[in-house]
Amino acid sequence: MSATPQEPLIVAIDGPSGVGKTTASRLVASALHLPHIDTGAMYRAIALAAMRAGVALDDEPKLDALASAATIDFTPGDRPRVLLDGEDVTNFIRTPEMSMAASHVSAVPAVRRVLVRLQQAMGRRKGGVLEGRDIGTKVFPETPHKFFLTARPEVRAQRRYRELLAKGTATDLQQVLAETIQRDTQDSTRADSPLSFDDSYTVIDTSDRSIEEVVDAIAGHVSGRSGSGSAGLP
Ligand code: DC
């Protein structure tokens, strides 16, 4: 797993919402001493910028201009923050409304073009654990370290529901499940870079696995040992 400066180590972690990608990616990044790049947060930041500017979520020319002009950064550390033009927008981009808005802007090819370029530049700088929907198919298709996380929809909705409750957001489990399924359908059926994987990926079902098992399996696979927990990969 040694990486030269010319060949930074890239770990791609793709999958639908609620599979535990963000927590797993953060812990894998910390275990491998790599930056964590949450590409979903980047689509969310552009969706927020569009909503604030009153730009329709399917207005491609305006979204292109807005995404091209925006700067998006992540602060390092245990509690990473997302900065949009220098402003900490972490708390604004995690609402159910912003999830749906991000799913809409992520279907716009011009937005994807701008953000994929930015993600590639970030990854090439120091390597990274990148989480998203198209990391192993479009952003870094050449990396040998590709993981696709899955989980049953009910389990994913339950996790999102608990996250929202923990943040004090009033919500309803059936509504979260319906939105989870709607967002999956949108993300998997859009024309540009739909959520998908191929046999270059290692698929991990997280439904009945602890986060530690998932992280151990991924970090172990990347570093050439098999995970020590029951999530040891096939
Ligand atoms: O991972 P997330 O829920 O924060 O992502 C928000 C939306 O962004 C999601 O509905 C799909 C989109 N997305 C994408 O299209 N490509 C990525 N690499 C990451 C996210």
Go through the domains of the chain in sequence order and give each one's CATH number: 10-223 (3.40.50.300)
Q: How far is the CA of 126 from the centre of ligand 1 (A)?
A: 22
Question: Pairing mode, if any, of strands 72-74 and 82-84?
Answer: antiparallel
CA dist 198 to 65, 133, 201, 223, Å? Answer: 33, 13, 6, 22
Residues with CB under 6 A from ligand 1: 17, 39-41, 43-44, 99, 102-103, 106, 132-134, 183, 187
Q: What is the pLDDT of residue 231?
A: 40
pLDDT digits (tens, 9 = 90+) for 91-107: 999 988 999 999 999 99
pLDDT digits (tens, 9 = 90+) for 76-90: 877 889 999 999 999
| Shortest-distance atom of ligand 1 to CA 103 | 10
Q: Ligand 1 test: best mutation among 19, 184, 187, 196, most atoms within 8 Å of CB?
A: 187
